Structure formats: structure tokens, C-alpha cells
Amino acid sequence: MVDLGRRRMRGERRRKLRLSKIYSFACGKQSLKGDHSQIGGRGYSRVVFCNEPESFEAGIRGYADNSVRSTKYTLATFLPKSLFEQFRRVANFYFLVTGILAFTELAPYTAVSAIIPLIIITGATMVKEGIEDWQRKKQDIKVNNRRVKVHTGHGTFEYTEWKNLKVGHIVKIMKDEFFPADLVLLSSSYEDAFCYVETMNLDGETNLKLKQGLEVTSSLHEDSHFSDFKATIKCEDPNANLYSFVGSMEFEEQQYPLSPQQLLLRDSKLRNTDYIFGVVIFTGHDTKVIQNSTDPPSKRSKVEKKMDRVIYFLFCILFLMAFVGSIFFGIATKDDLDNGLMKRWYLRPDDSTIFFDPKRAPAAAIFHCLTALMLYGFFIPISLYVSIEIVKVLQSMFINQDIHMYYEDANKPAHARTSNLNEELGQVDTILSDKTGTLTCNSMEFIKCSIAGVAYGCGVTEVERAMNRKNGTPLIDNIGESPDRNAPIKGFNFSDERIMNGKWVNEPYANVIQNFFRLLAICHTAIPEVDEDTGNVSYETESPDESAFVIAARELGFEFYKRAQTSLSMYELDPVSGDKIERTYKLLNVLEFNSSRKRMSVIVRDEEGRILLLCKGADSVMFERLAKDGREFAEKTSEHVHEYADAGLRTLILAYRELDENQYKEFDNKFSQAKNSISEDRETLIEEVSDKIERNLILLGATAVEDKLQHGVPDCIDKLAQAGIKIWVLTGDKMETAINIGFACSLLRQGMKQIIIHLETPEIQALEKAGDKVAIAKASRESIRHQISEAAQQLTASRGTSQQAFALIIDGKSLAYALEDSMKNMFLDLAIRCASVICCRSSPKQKALVTRLVKSGTGKTTLAIGDGANDVGMLQEADIGIGISGIEGMQAVMSSDIAIAQFRYLERLLLVHGHWCYRRVSSMICYFFYKNITFGFTLFLYEVYASFSGQPAYNDWFLSLYNVLFSSLPVIALGVFDQDVSARYCLRFPMLYQEGVQNVLFSWRRILSWMLNGFISAIIIFFFCTKAMEIQAFDEKGRTAGRDILGATMFTCVVWVVNLQMALAINYFTLIQHIFIWGSIALWYLFLLVYGAMPPSISTNAYKVFVETLAPSPSFWLVTLFVAISTLIPYFSFSAIQMRFFPMYHEMVQWIRYEGKTNDPEFIAMLRQVSLRPTTVGSTARLAAKENDVRDSATNHR
């Protein structure tokens, strides 16, 4: 009955907790004193008149309004800015100039026929830009028209749109609403002006932040309280720093300091708080979130950059042809009139315009050069850019829709956030990966602990399993076999009969165990959520680690269930009575965790009045803070920590100290002064005060949590390694943890020589004790240089033994020196010669610097992949940034080029989509150059044939519509659908990927060979057509072919040839490709019929040319058939010879598939032999190394 009553009381307490206001902790009240020296100075000149937004003083300051605009254009600027964007491209600018010149007498064609294709191409791109910008505009309208309650006077609050807010307005924000501007918090539904804020839209973090208003305004709870409210805020000017704010409020003739604790940022959301009142201080584009919204770095693929160079090369050819042609034309024109004799009498050189005047031959040559530049412009593919954009958008849609990259558990598909880099996915040479949350799940499980020098926990980690598989001794997981094992608890994978179910009271150090789990239940910033129906407690925490600790404490009898304004409440097991009792701890201060402190502490007062400092942190900072009499278990705990790190676990040291009243009061005064300081070194002051109190600690023990490998990571790494991709891991974890994760995911293997670069040498440690920073830096620099040189010599010496593979492992302190200008090239040279590289204890900045070094030093394509805010610099620095949409928020995703849900999807993204996109875009661009050279060079040959008269071979509209209608759709289909091999074969033969890394499909050799093919095709088409029609009668009536007939016949042959060439080049036919290829040819004949039926004033020399002349003539059809076949013979022959005698890797795979040998072990082994390298990593390489060891030992035994 007592137990039942206790449970009922407990449930009632929980319900009350759920229904009542949940307070949080105070970290020191704001002092009325403060350093205001910066206020009013440069950078701190903003003055806000609270509740007086319409006053004269507020008006003359001209602050920005609260509307935001993310669009690239406005209605007034769209046309000029969009046109400028279009004509920044050299090809488009060239066509604009030729279009303008088309209105002069120099033009070899009509102006309309020149301008319309340009209008279509640029217009299509501008429409695309306009649609994208309109989508942004609609989003802006939606945001600007959100509604918020604003004080309109006399204590009345009414709804208005966000865009109407002004600096100084008082607003009332309700629960789960977004903040419309940057606000200073005045009061909330909690008595002490606390509120909880979610900042996911700002920094991607899902944990709640605590904010607190000034004590002096905390009593303003009712709307009516603001009828006469007046205050003046002086603060910093608008800036992008999300985590700092310096200001002061003058209220009732008193000054009060303001800090980030009072600042509520636009686009954050109010959570777990009924309402808040705030004053608007920054609006619109002055808000910190908008100040931070810089455009991501502009990235262009290497293929696209090379394409620009090819276009410049084509321009050179074009200018050369025009220049040479104009010289010949000038010479011929000068010789036209010789002593009254006229050579080209049909041009009437005796009575000619300047364009053919023998007396002004140099001027005629210059004008001809301009005409030729316009005429030969068809060498430049006008529709190339827009076609590539269309293709890349469609390719991105295929990536987004790939069901094999859809993560069902989280309902997250792959998302290509930009389409600019599709083909770059097929050229990645080096992957730089984060570890936590990227290779691992970032879903922590409490699995082991060391308390009072005794190790607890029977679980087996994945790293231990992997290492024992490596040694050939599989481990048995005791937890999995336990008959008493209940349903799994998220975050808790611990089992040890010695301390489970309250049995810890029988352990020799029961008091230490009690303090250990009590610390876990108190030292955190978790917010409890109590289910009203079941009474179960869940926790809102800042990190998965913290969640695992609180859950572990709960499961072992220390259940934290309530956080009040200045206290924490929990149920814990009383070792004397054996009952669960409620304990409340008064929360005095929280010393927060950050990456430089590497620890977190809370100061509490227990029910007996003792003041306790409870601290948890990294071993690198905690052991040095222990008191002399607090090191009783230090040696054993240190051993256990190393064992846990070897097992791939993340460890934290737990320690505490008891403070007397005087110690605490002295600390609290200094801590309050530091927190209330408005100087720039405020954070430094806080850290110094915290550092002094967090000493003389008594060690309790260590925690060990497992961050499991994501499903499929080892297999993915194995496939990527077989593809020849190098993989670097950049992590903030300890070296031992990183090394063991490396073994678990097959980046490291037995027999691989590990080169470890570190600064843990006795000499440097002695210097560190002496504290001479200059000497430490000098010695460290020399040590790193020596280690890198020695490692390079080892690599050089082992070059003869091909089986030896090396792994480079370096810590963060060493990396700082290795990345210096004098040493970074040595470091890079060493790293790229190693099979694996692991950088431990790396800061976010170091990750970005390593990425930049690899990208610039190798000149190869780099890909960075990460999931957290600390990976953003690395993602933006790499050629391609891949964001994992995992647990650590969305900041990495928001800064990435492509987002995926799991690391394993990288395999398909690169080896399938990357390979296809690279091949498609490369082939597409090469084909574009081919078809334009084929067409353009026939114009040049006709020019030569017509003594460079500037007369085109084809009708004006034939010229204009060639790129737009008759040859563009098949090439788009190629770029979207073509496959050299299927996805299954891409994954089965990863070495296919090396074609992209080595850029064999878009090398200058391949580009020039396609261009040569174009020149050969043009020559065959021109000479076969002209010779076939030159002398004999064209039809049964005896008529000979004129320019109209020759031009239409040649153009027909060109259309057939370029489309049939496409059919030969395609590896994978779909219905769409058939429709586009044969449809383009049919469209040409249809166009001839329709255009030829128009009046002669429109159709000019194409008037009824097909119906009356070409179609009835057998010679037209015979010439078309003969020329088309003859032109394709060279390409067909070359392809057949290459396929038979010099096959590329993808052609070998195609051949095996065609021969039906896909399951023949001998053929498969032969192909895979090509794909394996002696220094590769992964499970395949591990097996190969083991087989070599067995073979070598057998040989030695003989």
C-alpha cells in the first residue's frame, strides 16, 4: 500500500509538473553595475526608444524596416541585371555582337534569323531565372505577411504583419511562434522572465536554449503594464555575430547591462513558454540571421571550367579561319580588275561597292573578316549552356528520386541542393570525412563505466567485434544472451549485475558509486518532459552524450524528473532504507561546456547545506585538475579510459569538490562581475574565474559511451577504396578512439604500417612544465618536421615491397605545425603517399585548412562529408560538400551541395550517379563541339569554293534553327539517359569510376578527336555533295543544281549524319532517345515542307525546293544515303578497332556482359585484378593481404 501510495504521489507530482510552469536554472542575477565604456562609441551607436517607434528621435535615425528580400532581382532590375548575367558569358556576348552586326550590310544573313535563336536561348535562361526568383519572392511575401501581436497604445496589443514592425515596438510572442525581429526580452509567463528558445533555423541545433530578461522588467506580465512603459536601449550596431551582444537599458533613470542572455534572434522559435514580451531592436536586414545569410561559395565543376577553355580554343580557330579567309579574299579582290579585264565578272568589280572594290582591297578584306566572323559563328554552340543547365537539373531530379538513397527510418531522400556539380561527383579523388555522426550514428549508448577504479559493464562494442574478427576470435555479447534482459532502452546498453537493480549498495565503494550517478543526474542542462498518461520521463538535451548520461542515471536508480527555476529534483535510492526518496538540489551556477574548456560544471547546494561543485570533462583536462588526495583511483581509471578508447568508446572523467561558504561567495562575486562585464574580453574573464574554482577535484570515475558505426559503412568504404578513392578521416576524437574506428570500418588493417605523428615526447613535456611558450613552439616545430621527414624516408625505402601499406595518423597539436606554410607541402606529400590518413583532435578550422591543402596541393577533386556545424568550413572549402542530415541539426546540410541521410549512400551517389553524370556531361559537350564543327566547317568549305565571297551555303533559317531544332534534343536525351553500364555493374566493378578521376572522357585528346571527327565529317559531306551534283543534270528535265539545291542537300546530309552519329555514340537506348533522334530528322523534312510552302518573300531560295525539286529526284535520296553512310564509316571503324584491340575499362565490362560471361569467375577475377591496388584500404584489401601472407608463409615453409 505504501508503495502504491508513493507511486500515485509520484504520478501526481509529474502531472503537476507537466501542468505547472517548468522553470529553469539561474546562472547569477544581473548586476546593476557594469562597464558601459563602449556604449555610444564606434560600432555601439544604436539607440532604441522603447514603446516610441513613431517618435521624432526614432524617425531621424532611419533604421531599416522589417521586410526582408532574398530575391536576386526586382521588377525594375530584372531585365538589365538578367541580361547582364546572360551576356557575361563570352559565347552569348559574341552572338549579341553578331546579332547587332546582322542589321548592317556586312551580314551574310537576315537580322531576324540571327536574333531569334539568341532570343530563344537567352529568353529560356531568363525565364528559368525569373521562375526561381519568383519562388523566392513568394517565400518573402509569406514571411513578411506573418502576423504578430504589437502594442498599439493604452495597453492594447493587436495583430499586424511582420513587415510593419519598427525599431522600438513592444511585441507579444506566443508559444511555438517565431520571433519576427531581434528582440530584447522584457518578461515572460515565468516569474523571473525565463523562456526557452529553439534556434534550429539559425545554427541547426535542435536543443533548447535558455534566455532570461532583466529582473527590473520581469514583473511586466500583463498587457496593461505596457501602457506607460518607457525605456531607452543603447547597444551595438547591426552585426553578424550570433553569440555576442553588448548593450544597456536605461529604465526609471537607472542603467542596466544587457547581454546575449536577453537577446532573442529573428527566426528562432519560442518553446515551452506560454508567452514573452520583447522590444524590437534590430529589424529586417539589420537582424543577425539576415546579416549571416551570405551566399555560399560559388562552385563550378572542372568539366565546366575546361569547357570554357575549349570554347576559347574554338574562338581562336574561328578568328584564324576568318583572318586567313579575308587575306585570300583581299588578294582575289585586288586581282579582280587587271587592265580592264574582270576575272570575277559576275561581281562587277568595275562598278562595285566597297565590299568588292579592287581599288580598296584592304578595306574589303577587313569588312570580309567581319562577315566571316559572323558566318563562322556556327562553330560556337549557342545552345550549349542552356542545354547543360537543363540536363543538370534533370540529373539532379534523378538523384533526388533514387529510391536506393532514400532513408525510410527518417523519411529522408537524397537532395541535390545544387545541380552545378553533378559531373564533379564522378571525378572525386579524395574524400575527407568527419567521424562522429558521419561514419558513426551519433546515437550514443551508455555501455561501460569505471567507478572507484573498478570497471563495470559487460557489453561488447562493434570495434571490439571487428578487432576480434581481425584476430580470428569472435566475441560473445553477454548482454544479448542475458535472459533477464528487458526491451532495449534508447541510449542505454549497459549490463552489470554488480550494480544493476540497486545492488550497488553492496559494493565496497558504494558511496563513490552513489556520488558518481548523482553527478550524472545533476551535471547537465537537460530539460525533463513528463508524459501525462504514463508518467514516463524523457529528456530534451544539448547532445546525444548528455541524453545517454541522464538515462543511465535514471536506469541505475537516480531519476532526474524536475527542473525548477533554481533547483533540480530527482528520485534516488536511499542505501540505508532501500526506498526511493525525493531529493532537491538548489542550483547555484552552471559553468557551461565549450570546445576550449572541454568540461562542464554545476555548483549546487544539497539538502544538508553542503555546496558541491560537480564536474565532467575530457581526460586531457580533468586529470591535471585533481587534488593530491583526490587521485586515489587515478591510475586504475586512466587504464580503463585507455581500454575504453581501444574499444572505440567516447570517455569522460567525473570528479567533484566541496566548497565552503567563503570560497563560494568569493567565486560568485567574481563570476557575476565577469558575466555582467560589457567588455570584449567578457568570455575570457568568465573562463578565468571558472578555471580557478574547477581545481582540487576528487576523482569519482569515468563514463564510456558507444557511438556505433552506421549501417553499411565498412562495405561502402571498401567499394570506394576499390574505386581508387582515397579516404581521410578528420575527427575531434582521441587518437585511440579514431584508430579503433579505423579498424572497425576497414580504413586500417593488420599489417598496415602506422605512421603516428604526435608531440607527446619527454622533451616537449618537460618544456611544457617549464612554461616557455617560445621554446615549446620551436621544439614542437622541429619535432614535427623531423617526424615527417623520417616517415617520408620509410615510404621511399619500402617502395620496392609493394605489399606494404602505410597509414598516417596525426593529432591536432601536431597538425597545427604541419599546416604551417613552411611545412604543409612536406606533410601533403607524405599524406598522399599513404593508404589512409586520420587526423585526430582536429578543430573545425583545421578541418577546413586540411581540405584546402588537399584541394590546392593535388589539383584533384575533393569531397568533404560531415553532419555538424563544426563541419561547415570543410564542406564549403571542398570541391563538393556532402551534408549528412543526421542528429546534429541541419547546419551541415544547409551549407552542403548535396544532402544524404547515411554515409553508405555515398557509394551509390559517386559510383553510379557520379559516374553516369560525368560520362553524360562529357559526352554531351564533346558531341556539341562535333555537331557544330561538322556544320560550321561546311560553311567554310563553301566559302573556299566560292572564293570567300561571304555567301552562306544555306538558307538563313536553316542556319538559325540548326542548333535550336534539328540537333539539340538528342543531345539533351544523351545527357539525361545514357548509361555505359547499368547501376549493378557500376557497383560490381568500382574501377569504372577511375575513368572520371583520370578524366579520360574529357581529356584534350578526346575533345580534339571529336573535333577531328567533325572536320572529317564536314569534308566528306561537302565534297561528296558538290562532286555528285557539280556536272551532271540533277533531275530528268536536265536542270543542274544551284545554290539552293546544293545547300538543301548538304543540310539534309548534315542533319542525318549528326543524328546518326548520336545513335552510334549512345550506349543505352530508351524510347525517348529514339523519338528525339528520328523525330529531329523528321522535323527537318516537315520544316522543309512548311517553310517551302510560304511565299518567296519569306522562304526566299527555299521556296518549294523540297516538293518541286528534291523529293522527286532520285539522286537527292541516293546522295543522302551514300553521304550519310560514308561519313559514319571512319567513326564506326575506329570504334570497332578500339573495342576489339584497345578496349577501355567500361568497354571490357560491356564485352563480358555481351558475351554472357558475367558469372564466369575467371573473367570477373581478371577484371577485378585491374581494380585492386596494393595500397588500397577496405575489407577486400584486408582479405587480399591475408591471402598474400598465407602464400608467403607457404613459400617460406617450402
| Cell (9 digits) for 809 | 595518423
Q: Give CA–CA dist 15/5, Å, rounded.
A: 15
**What is residue 338's DSSP assignment?**
E
Beta strand spans in 637-679 (E): 649-659
Query: In a 10 Å sphere around its CB, with 0-12 CB exposed, 13-18 middle and 19+ buried, how is residue 267 labelled?
Result: buried
Element (H, E) at 849: helix 844-858
Cα torsion through 633, 639, 640, 642, rounded to 10:
140
Q: Give CA–CA dist 820/825, Å, rounded.
A: 9
Beta strand spans in 1031-1123 (E): none
Backbone φ and ψ of 546, nearest 5°: -65, -40
| Cell (9 digits) for 221 | 506580465
Residues 6+ apart with CB under 8 A from 722: 990, 991, 1171, 1172, 1176, 1178, 1180
Q: Give CA–CA dist 87/104, Å, rounded.
A: 21
Place of cell 521588377: 75
Place of cell 514573452: 276
147 contacts 162 by C-beta, under 8 angstroms = yes
* Cα→Cα distances 612→606, 630, 653, 697, Å: 8, 15, 17, 11
| Cell (9 digits) for 925 | 559537350
Q: Give CA–CA dist 470/466, Å, rounded.
A: 6
What is the 3-class SS of 1017-1036, one letter each residue?
Answer: HHHHHHHHHHHHHCCCCCCC
The closest of 1177, 1118, 176, 1139 to 724, measured between CA atoms, is 1177
Length of the chain: 1198
Beta strand spans in 170-265 (E): 170-174, 182-188, 194-198, 208-212, 231-235, 247-251, 254-258, 263-264
The b/e string for 325-347 (b: 16+ C-beta within 10 A; e otherwise) is bbeebbebbbebbeeeeeebeeb
Strand order in the sheet with 599-605: 454-456, 440-451, 698-709, 649-659, 611-617, 599-605, 580-591, 567-573, 558-563
From 434, 733, 956, 980, the catalytic residue? 434
* Cα→Cα distances 972→127, 303, 385, 386, Å: 19, 17, 11, 10
The half-sphere exposure of 718 on its side-chain side, counting CA atoms within 13 A, is 18
Element (H, E) at 114: helix 111-144
Specify the amino acid at residue 575. P
Q: Give CA–CA dist 1001/1146, Å, rounded.
A: 11
**Pair type for strands 611-617 and 649-659:** antiparallel
Helix (H, G, I), strand (E, B) or coil at 112: helix
Q: How far apart are the first and last CA of the chain?
A: 80
What is the 3-class SS of 525-580, one letter each residue?
Answer: CCEEEECCCCCCEEEECCCHHHHHHHHHHHHCCEEEEEECCCEEEEEEECCCCCCE
Active site residue 434: yes
The half-sphere exposure of 786 on its side-chain side, counting CA atoms within 13 A, is 9
Q: Which residues are known catalytic residues?
A: 434
